[in-house]
Structures are given as structure tokens and as C-alpha cells.
Structure 1
């Protein structure tokens, strides 16, 4: 009986670790996706200058929300966008993604540390969650 327990204590972590390894093709796909998201984010913020971060933003003024990997961009207008680095897990919002944000707030504001969930637009199933970081404004230079 003791030998089985010892064997399992070695086998279970080994199997779990083996499941965490990626093939070279999977690594390349993930790296390509990250490069594409960075290029898309750079394009979305082109011509805008970053300002001092703020803890909260009004969610009612937002016209569009889109994720670029762990980065969320709230568009207020073509001249003002807020960028928040999240803890990750809120991919596929806006753009070509099929997810939508679900946030719960009683103040009408989104704040650093708030948690958002993503929901598949078609099925209504939860697909992820993340925590917001500070919101950095990006404005067109005058």
C-alpha cells in the first residue's frame, strides 16, 4: 500500500507537468498572437499621447471596449481612450472576439481592482475574468 502511495506521489505531478508543456507549433502560435495583439494595440493608440493614470473612469461615457490580450482599451471618443492592464483572462472582447464584458458597479465607474467577467455573446456562458489595473488616458495632442 505504501508503494502505491509513493508511486502516485511521483506520477501525479509528472503527469500534471507534462500537460503544461507546449509543442513548438503551439508556442509559435501564441507568440504570433501576442505580436498581432501588440501591433493592433499600437495601431489603436497611434497619434495619441499617454497621460497620468487614474484609479477610476466613468463607464457611461464609453463608446467601445476592446481587449488586446491582457490590455483593455475603453474608447470614449476618437480623441480619448483609456488603457488598463489587467491580470489576464479577459481575451476576445470587441473586434473579432465573440466575448462581451460583464461588470457590476453601483457607482457607474470602473476602478482599479474591480473584477470583470467575459461572457460568450452567443451562448451566454462565462469564458473568463480579470481584474483591472489603473486606467491611463491617451489623448490626441492639441
Structure 2
């Protein structure tokens, strides 16, 4: 009986630690997004993002639903079509491109930088430009 009580207590402690870690990650993502978009105003969402290797920086993975790209003075934000559970902040994105643009609903796979193990396929959402006022 004591063993069951101890296992239950350990399970609850693990849930609490996991919830605290998730809350910490969400707070960090919110701070990073606010910092990246500070002083900027959203423009009209676009279906596609032209990728020019000479001027485009990114991606910056904010969380499992938000990715940023930078193009000169603009910051492009895409909110993914749905949560990408295998997407980590330090992952490499392997994008299936059709032409010279990345578009809404195009597929990509996050690849873990350390292990080189690819995650599940995910889809981009609209691309919203943010410019300084």
C-alpha cells in the first residue's frame, strides 16, 4: 500500500514539474516574440514568402506554432497551420520548396541538430510582415 502511495506522489511531482517547465517555455517564447516584434506593425498576411538567400535571415523558431524570418527591415511571422509537436527551438528546418518561394501549406520537417533525427511533417501558415513605424 505504501508503495502505491509513493508512486502516486512521485507521479504528481512529475506532473507539477512538467507543467512548470511548460509554463517557463511559454513565457520564454512570449518574451522572444515580443522582443522580435517590438515597435513593429503587422501588415497584410501573404500566402507566400519569397526567399532570397542574400537578404533572408532565419528561421527563428519561437515555439511549436510560430516561426520568424527576417528580410532586411521586415520580420515575417508565420503561425503554423497546426501545432508541430516535434519542433524545437534549435532544430534545422528542411523545407519542401516548389520554386523560389515558401508558401502557406508547404511542408517542412524539423531535424534535431544534435542527433540529425527528422521529426514529423508540419505545414506553414500565412506569412505576416511586420515593419517598424
TM-score scaled by length of structure 2: 0.78
Is 1:119–1:128's contact at 8 Å kept on the other side of the alignment?
A: no
1:63 and 1:75 in contact (8 A); partners too: yes
Retained in 2: the 8 A contact 1:68–1:91?
Answer: no
Structure 2 residue 23 is matched with structure 1 residue 27? no
In angstroms, what is the RMSD of aligned CA positions? 1.6
Instruction: Tell me the equivalent position of 2:66.
Output: 71
Report runs of 4+ in structure 1 exceeding 6 Å deviation: none
1:64 match: secondary structure? strand
5+ unaligned residues in a row in structure 2: which ranges? 1-13
Contact 1:59 1:108 in 2 (8 A): yes
Q: 1:45 aligns with which of 31, 37, 58?
A: 37
SS in structure 2 of the partner of residue 125 of structure 1: coil
Answer yes or no: is 1:85 the counterpart of 2:83.
no
Distance in structure 2 (CA, Å) of the matches to 1:127 and 1:34 = 21
Deviation at 1:104, TM superposition (A): 1.4
- Name the SS of the counterpart of 2:110 in structure 1: strand
Cα deviation, residue 127, structure 1:
2.9
How many pairs were matched up? 115
User: Is 1:124 the equivalent of 2:116?
Assistant: yes
Q: Relative to structure 2, which stretch is displaced further, 116-125 or 106-115?
A: 116-125
For normalisation by structure 1, the TM-score amounts to 0.74
Match of 2:6 in 1: none
Q: Distance in 2 between matches of 1:34 and 1:91?
A: 14
* 1:110 pairs with 2:102: yes
Cα drift, residue 124 of structure 1: 2.2
Q: CA offset at residue 32 of structure 1? A: 1.2
Shift of 1:92: 2.6
Partner SS state of residue 23, structure 1: helix
Instruction: Specify the alignment match of 1:136 in structure 2.
Output: 128
